[in-house]
């Protein structure tokens, strides 16, 4: 009888140990994981961008998990830059999911959610772009992306000094990104001695640019700078070519591969500033092996991948330590401020013409 009792006691103790170390212990490990909240465009017109960045994030997380670093990413959809969707996503991630850090793609996504992250004292890292908004957005907002201001300035410098252009017409959008890059281009070009002969912005739902094109054609500028959203660039270029506008065409990083393909011959010869993968380090091959397919754009995947690297680089798991690490890596202005390269469309393919 005593033997049976001792057997039961031993079994109970062992069961308790299993519960404590196997059950509660696993929960402790889970709670000790780094929890990332990613707000990306996963539906809508920009979903293809968000999905590729997501793949870069997932690849980095998988590699860290293989090294024994536990990372959990919770994805939320901003429905291609819907401010309401972004705010709802931020509130869920911060108040319900209790994330340690947030990720998002554009400055435009961050405008409505930056105050929420600042109030909660949780870092938010932008992956694609950066501009002066970052410096005034609060101590918890960071960017690992490319500077919009520097993109405008570098194109102005290239236009004036490399291409020898002296007069430029500007046609763009009423849009925060277009406004920033336009002002940066204009100010830099005029400081160097260039002259802006035409400057007009249109609503993003505008489809017909023929009146503006005729005005520009009469002014006969050396070049036209057109910072427009992707599909509007197709419409503008097609109409400009149809009306025989012979100026040099310049634009920014919204001139994506899909735009070039849809514009066809109308895109030939266009100069544009654009993003690039700063340090690929075999990322293309690892992506292909992980997903069994080529990346749509390795640069987009690198944004997500590099973002995770920046977060985990120090090995710290608390929001406070992650913030301190980002400050040490990105500096006082909390931004990488990368400078885009300049490309030219030749035979339908972007060819690098200047490395900034």
Q: Which two tokens stand for residue 301?
A: 């995947």
Whether 312 shows a pLDDT value over 70: the answer reads yes
14 assigned to some structural domain? no
Confidence of residue 229 (pLDDT cuts 50, 70, 90): confident
Whether 231 shows a pLDDT value over 90: the answer reads no
Please check whether residues 347 and 298 belong to one and the same domain: no
For the chain, give the percent of residues with pLDDT over 70: 89
Question: What's the confidence (pLDDT) of residue 280?
Answer: 63
Confidence of residue 32 (pLDDT cuts 50, 70, 90): low
Higher pLDDT, 58 or 26: 58
For the chain, give the percent of residues with pLDDT over 90: 77
Could you give the CA distance from residue 302 to residue 215 in angstroms, rounded to a whole number? 42
Please check whether residues 299 and 349 belong to one and the same domain: no
**Three-state DSSP class for residue 101:** strand
Please check whether residues 239 and 348 belong to one and the same domain: yes
**Tens-digit pLDDT profile for residues 200-222:** 999 989 999 999 999 999 999 99
27 assigned to some structural domain? no
**Tens-digit pLDDT profile for residues 185-197:** 999 999 999 999 9
Please check whether residues 175 and 242 belong to one and the same domain: yes
284 assigned to some structural domain? yes
Whether 25 shows a pLDDT value over 80: the answer reads no
C-alpha distances in angstroms, 242 versus 121, 209, 214? 53, 11, 11
CATH code of the domain covering residue 105: 3.40.50.2300
Confidence of residue 79 (pLDDT cuts 50, 70, 90): very high
Question: What's the confidence (pLDDT) of residue 143?
Answer: 97
Lowest mean pLDDT among 106-120, 137-151, 231-245, 302-316: 302-316
Please check whether residues 226 and 164 belong to one and the same domain: yes
Question: What's the confidence (pLDDT) of residue 316?
Answer: 59
Please check whether residues 281 and 259 belong to one and the same domain: no
Average confidence (pLDDT) over 308-328:
82
Residues 6 or more apart from 264 whose CB is under 8 A from it?
348
Biggest CA–CA distance in the chain, Å, is 108
Average confidence (pLDDT) over 258-273:
95
Whether 26 shows a pLDDT value over 50: the answer reads no
Please check whether residues 56 and 155 belong to one and the same domain: no
Please check whether residues 59 and 119 belong to one and the same domain: yes
Please check whether residues 258 and 188 belong to one and the same domain: yes
Confidence of residue 279 (pLDDT cuts 50, 70, 90): low
What's the gap between Cα 146 and its chain centre? 8
pTM, 2 dp: 0.83
Please check whether residues 299 and 348 belong to one and the same domain: no
Average confidence (pLDDT) over 51-57:
97
Please check whether residues 215 and 347 belong to one and the same domain: yes
Average confidence (pLDDT) over 76-96:
96
Question: What's the confidence (pLDDT) of residue 271?
Answer: 98
320 assigned to some structural domain? no
Whether 12 shows a pLDDT value over 70: the answer reads no
Whether 226 shows a pLDDT value over 80: the answer reads yes
307 assigned to some structural domain? yes
Average confidence (pLDDT) over 84-106:
97
49 assigned to some structural domain? yes
Structural domain span for residue 299: 32-128+277-313
Domain count for the chain, please give it: 2
Mean pLDDT of the chain: 89
Please check whether residues 186 and 81 belong to one and the same domain: no
308 assigned to some structural domain? yes
Whether 254 shows a pLDDT value over 80: the answer reads yes
73 assigned to some structural domain? yes
């Amino acid at each position: 009888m005593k033997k049976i009792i001792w057997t039961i006691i031993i079994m109970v103790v062992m069961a308790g140990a299993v519960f404590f170390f196997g059950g509660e212990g696993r929960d402790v490990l889970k709670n000790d994981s780094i929890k990332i909240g990613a707000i990306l465009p996963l539906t809508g017109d920009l979903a293809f961008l968000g999905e590729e960045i997501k793949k870069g994030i997932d690849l980095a997380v998988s590699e860290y998990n293989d090294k024994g670093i536990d990372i959990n990413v919770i994805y939320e959809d901003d429905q291609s830059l819907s401010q309401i969707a972004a705010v709802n996503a931020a509130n869920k991630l911060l108040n319900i999911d209790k994330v340690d850090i947030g990720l998002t793609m554009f400055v435009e996504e961050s405008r409505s959610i930056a105050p929420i992250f600042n109030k909660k004292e949780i870092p938010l890292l932008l992956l694609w772009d950066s501009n002066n908004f970052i410096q005034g957005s609060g101590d918890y907002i960071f960017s690992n992306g490319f500077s919009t201001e520097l993109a405008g300035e570098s194109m102005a410098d290239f236009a004036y000094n490399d291409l020898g252009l002296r007069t430029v017409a500007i046609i763009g959008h009423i849009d925060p990104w277009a406004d920033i890059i336009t002002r940066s281009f204009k100010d830099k070009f005029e400081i160097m001695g260039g002259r802006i002969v035409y400057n007009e912005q249109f609503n993003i739902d505008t489809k017909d640019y023929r009146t503006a094109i005729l005005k520009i054609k009469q002014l006969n500028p050396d070049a036209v700078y057109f910072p427009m959203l992707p599909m509007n660039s197709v419409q503008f270029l097609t109409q400009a070519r149809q009306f025989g506008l012979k100026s040099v065409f310049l634009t920014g990083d919204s001139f994506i591969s899909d735009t070039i393909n849809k514009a066809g011959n109308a895109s030939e010869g266009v100069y544009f500033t654009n993003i690039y993968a700063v340090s690929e380090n075999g990322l293309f091959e690892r992506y292909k092996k992980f997903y069994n397919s080529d990346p749509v754009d390795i640069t987009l995947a690198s944004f997500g991948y590099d973002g995770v690297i920046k977060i985990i680089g120090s090995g710290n798991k608390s929001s406070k330590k992650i913030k301190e690490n980002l400050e040490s890596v990105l500096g006082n202005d909390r931004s990488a401020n990368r400078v885009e390269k300049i490309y030219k469309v030749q035979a339908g393919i972007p060819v690098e013409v200047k490395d900034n």
